[in-house]
Structure 1
Amino acid sequence: MAAKSLYTAVAAVGIVAASGAAWWFQQKPQGPKDPSANAATAAQRGATGTPAAGGGAGRPPAVEVARVETLRITDDAQAVGSLRSRQSVMLRPEVSGRVTQINFRDADRVRRGQLLVQLDDQLPMAQVKQAEAEVSIARANHRRNQELVEEKFIAQRAVDESAANLQVAEAKLALARATLARLKIVAPFDGVAGIRSINVGDYLKDGADIVNIEDLDALYVDFRLPERFQTKVRPGQNALVDVDALPGRRYTALIQAIDPLVDANGRSVGVRGCIDNRHLQLRPGMFARITPVFGVREDARVIPEEAIVPQGGRQFVYKLVDGPDQDTRIAQRVEVKVGMRQPGKVEITQGLQAGDVVVTAGQQRIQKDGTPVRVLDVAGRGGPAVAGPAGGPAAAPPAALATEVVPNGSGNPCAVASGASGNRSAPAGRPLRGG
């Protein structure tokens, strides 16, 4: 029992001694380091652009930059829609009858009033002749009664009855002629006939489909825009139309009408544009991608989107000005106002001028306003980002899309009362999108 207590006491003393030695070793003052090691550490820190230990100044931080460019940008939106004929009708007979004549071929151009289909009219024509004879007899009786009443051989009542009989006979004649006219199916407007679904000898009931007529000289493009655009879109504006069925071609539609009712389900407003289609390249029912153009700014100032530094609901950029030497620039924090946006680009409406140099990468290395920085020469970009004069030429625009150009004139089927001209060719290249 005594031996066990002795072992416990010795273990406790050993633990206390080890703890004291560890504490003393941690609190022991460090001796001076090798001067060569200090020099190597300072050189390494200087190479990375951070201050060395002891307060020495290192190289300025490196940043990537870009110039403020002036571009032609467009305030527009994106939508999808469908093409439809300006006028479209499915011809159907109002009365039943047998087809005796078909005076058109499939896909023929027809004129207003042209006889297209003739139904059997023998019986209605006989009814017309019968009604004409009845009118002739009623008119003669009425004339004779008028002569007799003047000589007071008959009463005035007989004259009134003959006048009524004449009116009834004339009404029967008008009814017979109207029934006969309904056996002639005529084109209601100028257009192109579709594919007929009847043949000579077919018996058609009233309301049966005969053929569709489409007015293709002008096509409507119907689409919808979010309600926030209702204050921008106006009749007479242009809209660029791309059709998936005709890749590489772009058409211009003239906005003609805006639906006054906003759809409560989708919170969108309906818009109708008109495309001059006298070349007959488009067809009703095609899917279309529409870019309505609300306005164009020729000399808008544009910078890369990554140059914007948002802070507290405000937008800032770091603009570079000349520094103490050729390789160093001074970063100045500038508040800007932004306008329209496009993927990768943003318009600056206030705060910068064309040709200014702004930081696009490395803003986190700038500790405060007025910090000296080095412009990084990014490999593969053809030299430093700030090389060249401020007003240097901009990059070449992308290849322009082929555009259907239709001559303007009094015959333009899409002319509107606002005095807007007809179709104009789309600008070269795809413009920047706003909104």
Structure 2
Amino acid sequence: MNRKSIMLAALAGILALAGTAWYSQRTRAATPPPADAAIVVETAEVRRVAMPDEAVAVGTLRANESVVLRPEVAGRVKSILFREGTPVKRGAVLVELDDALQRAELQQARAGLDLAQANFQRTEGLFARRFVSSSARDEAASRLQAARAAVALADARLRRMTLTAPFDGIVGIRQISVGAFVKEGDALVNLEDISVLKLDFRLPEALLPRLRTGQVLEVGSDALPGERFAAQIEAIDPLIDAQTRAVSIRARLDNPQARLRPGMFARVRLILEERPEVAVVPEEALLPSSGGTQYVFRVVGGRAERVAIRIGTRRDALVEVVEGLAPGEQVVTAGQMKLRDGAAVRVLGAAAGG
């Protein structure tokens, strides 16, 4: 047998095998399944759960009070009287600028005041004995008032060389060193009151009628996973943002252990209404639908019934059923793509429904 004959025989064998496979597949496809064959499905019970009506948002934590200390006058830093990152009390001296010139000016003003006081007293005595005119007495009184004002001015200039804490708080990282020359308005150090924090966030304008001061919030942070903190709405902005159609809200929360810090990202949960018993089904029970109506298959007497339902809130893989189903009924959660209305079904197992 030559090479050409071998190749022809092999090709004939391949064609024969292919034909046999095609005929076998066609025969199986043409054989219809039994008319009453039950389709295997999984089901879940329509049940009642607590599903409060809530609004969620993200916000930013801010210090209750926050300030950056800046000198009102230029000068050289004489002393720094705080440790970075430590608490200080209101009125505590934090930074002193070189005040030698201002102290000298105050002493000069006080000396002038002493002289003006003595001259006024002497003029008063002479005026009482009618040795000087009333205009001389008034002039002496005017010089006394000017001397007192000069002392007050020199004292104010001296006090501006000392920077104190305007409230209780924690000082931040300083931007200066002893001996540095600072200009008027230069940033020296920040001071933060974080015993109480403010939380700023936004909600859609549609929720405005349901918002009020004093409402309790639940606050979480990605920096402290799993932990929740209570806050209360303190203020609602009277102005609606024309671009986002959202209302700005400020809440307040205690932070006694300083676990939360200003600038942190926060997740906000506001309960608008407690709803302890809401009928729900698993999300996977819903049939794909292009319109506004949703459908599920309900199992009754071993057969599937296609039911139109109206749904509400979706949360944690559960869907609220507003109407169309009753608690205790069974809905198909797996295998529904093979079903038609009235088809026989065999339940493989009941799911807990989430």
Distance, in Å, in 1 between the alignment partners of 2:33 and 2:84 is 85
Q: CA deviation at 1:114?
A: 0.3
Assess, with a 3 A threshold, how the Cα gap between structure 1 residues 178 and 62 changes in structure 2: closer, same or farther. same
Assess, with a 3 A threshold, how the Cα gap between structure 1 residues 337 and 103 changes in structure 2: closer, same or farther. same
Q: What is the aligned-residue RMSD (CA, Å)? A: 3.2
Distance, in Å, in 2 between the alignment partners of 1:228 and 1:318 is 34
Using the size of structure 2 for normalisation, the TM-score is: 0.78
Distance, in Å, in 2 between the alignment partners of 1:330 and 1:203 is 85
Distance, in Å, in 2 between the alignment partners of 1:188 and 1:258 is 27
**Equivalent of residue 237 in structure 2, options 248, 252, 259:** 259
Distance, in Å, in 2 between the alignment partners of 1:184 and 1:192 is 18
Q: CA deviation at 1:74?
A: 2.9
Q: Match of 2:199?
A: 221
Q: How does 1:3-152 map to 2 (within 5 A)?
A: 44-48=33-37, 64-152=42-130
Q: CA deviation at 1:366?
A: 5.3
Deviates more, 1:151-160 or 1:343-352: 343-352
Q: CA deviation at 1:94?
A: 0.8
Q: Quick check: which has more Rg, 1 or 2? A: 1
Distance, in Å, in 2 between the alignment partners of 1:122 and 1:332 is 92
The 3-state SS of whatever aligns with 2:274 is: strand
Q: CA deviation at 1:363?
A: 8.8
The 3-state SS of whatever aligns with 1:124 is: helix
Assess, with a 3 A threshold, how the Cα gap between structure 1 residues 152 and 350 changes in structure 2: closer, same or farther. farther
1:377 aligns with 2:353: no
Q: Contact conserved, 2:304 with 2:339, CA < 8 A, in 1?
A: no
Q: Deviations over 1:292-343 (max 9, x none)?
A: 332332222212345567798666666555x4xxxx368485x755432226
How many residues align? The count is: 323
Q: Match of 1:356?
A: 329
Identity of aligned residues (%): 44
Using the size of structure 1 for normalisation, the TM-score is: 0.65
Q: Match of 2:320?
A: 347
Partner AA of 1:290 in structure 2: V
| Greater per-residue strand proportion | 2
Q: Contact conserved, 2:309 with 2:325, CA < 8 A, in 1?
A: yes
The 3-state SS of whatever aligns with 2:347 is: coil
Distance, in Å, in 2 between the alignment partners of 1:375 and 1:143 is 115
Q: Contact conserved, 2:169 with 2:192, CA < 8 A, in 1?
A: yes
Distance, in Å, in 2 between the alignment partners of 1:312 and 1:247 is 39
1:157 aligns with 2:132: no
Q: Deviations over 1:7-57 (max 9, x none)?
A: xxxxxxxxxxxxxxxxxxxxxxxxxxxxxxxxx97x8442446xxxxxxxx
Q: Match of 2:253?
A: 275
Distance, in Å, in 1 between the alignment partners of 2:223 and 2:261 is 10
Q: How does 1:164-175 map to 2 (within 5 A)?
A: 164-175=142-153
Whose relative contact order is higher, 1 or 2, with alpha carbons under 8 Å and at least 6 apart?
Answer: 2
Assess, with a 3 A threshold, how the Cα gap between structure 1 residues 154 and 140 changes in structure 2: closer, same or farther. same
Q: CA deviation at 1:213?
A: 0.8
Deviates more, 1:235-244 or 1:274-283: 235-244
Gaps (5+ residues) in structure 2? 1-29
Q: CA deviation at 1:80?
A: 2.6
Q: Match of 1:416?
A: none
**Equivalent of residue 181 in structure 2, options 203, 207, 211:** 203
Distance, in Å, in 1 between the alignment partners of 2:332 and 2:235 is 45
The 3-state SS of whatever aligns with 1:247 is: strand
